[in-house]
Amino acid sequence: MARLVMKFGGTSVADIDRIRNVARHVKREVDAGFEVAVVVSAMSGKTNELVNWTRAAAPLHDAREYDAVVASGEQVTSGLLAIALQEMGVNARSWQGWQIPIRTDAAHGAARIVDIDGARLIERLEQGQVAVIAGFQGLGPDNRIATLGRGGSDTSAVAIAAAIKADRCDIYTDVDGVYTTDPRMVPKAKRLDRVSHEEMLEMASLGAKVLQVRSVELAMVHGVRTFVRSSFVDPEDPALGDPNNPPGTLICDEDEIVEKQVVTGIAYAKDEAQISLREVADKPGVAAAVFVPLAEANINVDMIVQNVSEDGTTTDMTFTVPNTDFDRAWKVLAEARESIGYASVQGSRDLTKVSVIGIGMRSHAGVAASAFKALASKGINIRAITTSEIKISILIDAPYTELAVRTLHTLYGLDAA
C-alpha cells in the first residue's frame, strides 16, 4: 500500500471549519488507499501569540521553557484534527514529537533533527490508523521538547516522510503550487509543474516563502518527492484527478524534469542592508578579521564584493546583512575596528536582492548580461552582484523591486500566455 505524508500550515488549520476541511482532504487520501501520516502547524496566529506571551513574561527567557510554551500550538491542532477525523469515521490518533520520537540537537528554539525512529508510526499506519503529528517539535538530548524554528513543520513533514519511506510528501499551503515569481506582484506569473530540488533550494533561500529551506535540503538529500498543493480547493473536486499525480508543483530530482527552462523563476528578498568598509589593509587575514566577529555574533553575511585599490595596498570591502541585523553588525565592526584597520564605514538600508534562478543557466551563456542590460534600460542601478551555476543575485534599491521583478520576468519569457 502506498504511503503518504500530508502537511498543513497555519492558514489551512486556522479555525474549526478549516480543520474539518483538512480532515476531508485526509479522508479522501485514506479512501484512495493510502497509508497516511499528517503533520500540522499551529492554528494561524497562535505561535505569534505564544511567543509574545513568553516575551511578556520575561524578555530574556529560558529557551527550554520557550519551547515548552510555543510547541503547545501544534499539540492543540493535532488533537483537534484527530477528533475531526474520528467524527468522520476515520481511525486517527494524535502524536507529539517526543512520542515518535523525533530526536534533535540541543539548540532549543532552532533545533535540527538528528534522527527519527519511524518503527512505531509504520506499525500504526500498517494497521490502518492515520497518524496526526504535531510539527515543529522534537525531543532534545536533555529529554525536553525542542522546537525547530519558524517554518519547522515543513521540515518535520519531509523528515518523517524520509523516516517512514513515504512515496511522497504533500505540503498544503494557501497557494496551489510554486510560481515563476510572486503572483501578487506579477499577475502574469504562472504555476510551475515541476521544480528541481536545487532550484527550489535557491528560491526558498532567496525569498520565496512557499517552503522552508531546511525542508528542501532534507528532500534533496533523501530523495523525497514533494508536492506543493492548495488546501483551499474542495477536497471532492473532480479536477484533483489522479491521486498519484495531483495538481500542484512537484519538487523532484533534476532527472525527472525533461524540458529544462533556461530560467525557472525570479525570487526577491526585501529588507537587505549593505555595509562598506573603506581602505582596509590588503593583507592576509583581513577577511577573517571582518567576518569572524560577525559570525560569532550570529549575523548572516550574504553578498560580498571586494575592490582592491590601484596601488594594491588597500581594499574596499562591501557585503550585505539582513536589515534587522544592521545595527548589531555596525556595533560589532566598530568594536573590531582596531583589529580590522579600516579608514571608514558606510551603510545603506532599504535594499532588495532580486535573483534569477534556473538549472538551464548551466548550459546557456549571456543570461546575466541580458539581465544587466534590461535593468539598465529601466534606470535601475545595480549595487552588487553574486552568481552561482544556477543563480544570479542582484542588489538594488528597494523602491525599484517591483519594476525589476516584472522586467526580468518578461525578459526570460516567464509571463503566462
Residue 203 in contact with residue 265, Cβ under 8 Å? Answer: yes
74 is in an annotated binding site: yes
400 is in an annotated binding site: no
The answer to the question of whether 271 is labelled as a binding residue is: no
Cα torsion 249, 251, 255, 259 to 10°: value is 30
Residue 315 counted as an annotated binding residue: no
CB atoms closer than 10 angstroms to residue 54: 18
Distance of alpha carbon 237 from alpha carbon 219, whole angstroms: 28
What region, left, alpha or beta, does residue 96 occupy, with left being phi > 0 and alpha being psi -120 to 50 degrees?
beta
320 marked among binding-site residues:
no
Output DSSP code: residue 165: T
Has 10 been labeled as part of a binding site?
yes
Nearest one of 98, 103, 117, 132 to 5, comparing CA atoms: 132
> What does the alpha-carbon distance between residue 151 and residue 217 come to, in Å, rounded to a whole number?
13
Tell me if 292 is assigned to a ligand binding site. no
Residue 389, all three cell numbers: 551555476
Instruction: For residue 155, say whether it is annotated as part of any ligand binding site.
Output: no
Q: Binding residue per annotation — 236?
A: no
Number of C-beta neighbours around residue 56 at 10 A: 9
Tell me whether residue 8 is annotated as binding: yes
210 annotated ligand-binding residue: yes
Binding site annotation covers 173? yes
CA angle 208, 212, 215 (to 5 degrees): 135
User: Annotated binding site for ATP, which residues?
Assistant: 7-10, 173-174, 179, 184, 209-210
User: Annotated binding site, which residues?
Assistant: 7-10, 47, 74, 173-174, 179, 184, 209-210
User: Annotated binding site for substrate, which residues?
Assistant: 47, 74
